[in-house]
Amino acid sequence: MIHLKTEKEISIMAEAGRILAKIIDELKNNVSLGVTTNELNRAAQVLILEYKAEPAFLNYQGFPAALCASVNSQIVHGLPSDYQLKSGDLLSLDLGIKYQGFYSDMAITFLVESNKGQTPVNFEALRLIKAAKKALKLGIKKARPGNTFGDIGNTIQRFVEHQGFNVIRDLCGHGIGRDLHEEPKVLNYGERHKREKIKPGMVFCIEPMIAIGDWHLKKSKDGFGYETKDGSLSAHFEHTVAILENRQKVLTKI
């Protein structure tokens, strides 16, 4: 069952989204060569507390951190560790918070560069990031009353495949509200005009996850993350989106 939100509930979720976007933006400033993903997790926890919110992922299904930090071939749910970031790494940060009883969720991917700007340019990695970011933008445009969730998935899939990449099939976006994961599933592939119709009051996360190589996954050694089976680079972007009477509103805009 898809839970429709009231105007007041969406207003609270919009504030949660603004806070989360600020945290992600500040967290990026902590990224530099040699920094560990554990250090980024600690920074995320401090920022969440400063904004009087709660970490959404900490202890969720046993996950022992506030931040998901996934590097290179790892797609999502990467467990922070003592891994030190290197020049040219692809880093995906996925973070959720709970604020006044409601959840918000967001993810970004970017290239870790040297402080002197001398990182060798990996054009294919940059193209992957750009494609994932654009896929999210196109998916959000389709998230409006009268369209279907199949329209969102089909738009994302067609664009990504046209760029020569693949969408991950076994992971997807989701509804969000008083629970971190609600109905419906928001797939990154599908057929136009299929699945549930999009209605005002819906709030959900659109999150394209794409890979340079094959879309099949395997579990990471940390026991929580998922990575590409063929070891190819991956990218992940996510926004929390609310559906209003005649338009959509991105709640996690930086």
For each of the chain's 254 residues, which pLDDT tens digit applies?
A: 899 999 999 999 999 999 999 999 999 999 999 999 999 999 999 999 999 999 999 999 999 999 999 999 999 999 999 999 999 999 999 999 999 999 999 999 999 986 655 656 689 999 999 999 999 999 999 999 999 999 999 999 999 999 999 999 999 999 999 999 999 999 999 999 899 999 999 999 999 999 999 999 999 999 999 999 999 999 999 999 999 998 999 999 97
Amino acid at position 90, single letter: L
Structural tokens at position 205: 């996360």
2 in any annotated domain = no
Distance in angstroms (rounded) separating the CA atoms of residues 54 and 11: 18
Residues in the chain: 254
1 in any annotated domain = no
Structural tokens at position 208: 């394209």
Distance in angstroms (rounded) separating the CA atoms of residues 170 and 185: 11
Distance in angstroms (rounded) separating the CA atoms of residues 174 and 27: 24
17 in any annotated domain = yes
The residues near 116 (Cβ < 8 Å, ≥ 6 apart) are: none
Mark out the alpha helices in 51-191 (DSSP H runs): 123-142, 149-162
CATH code for the domain in which residue 92 is found:
3.90.230.10
Q: Which of 141, 242, 139 is nearest to 190 (CA)?
A: 139
Q: What is the pTM of this model?
A: 0.94
The residues near 142 (Cβ < 8 Å, ≥ 6 apart) are: 151, 152, 155
How many domains are contained in the chain?
Answer: 1
136 in any annotated domain = yes
56 in any annotated domain = yes
Amino acid at position 125, single letter: A
E strand or H helix that includes residue 48: helix 37-50
132 in any annotated domain = yes
User: Which residues span the domain enclosing 167?
Assistant: 7-250
Distance in angstroms (rounded) separating the CA atoms of residues 169 and 159: 15
Distance in angstroms (rounded) separating the CA atoms of residues 151 and 143: 8
93-105, pLDDT tens digit by residue? 999 999 999 999 9
Residue with the two structure tokens 């609310």:
242
224 in any annotated domain = yes
120 in any annotated domain = yes
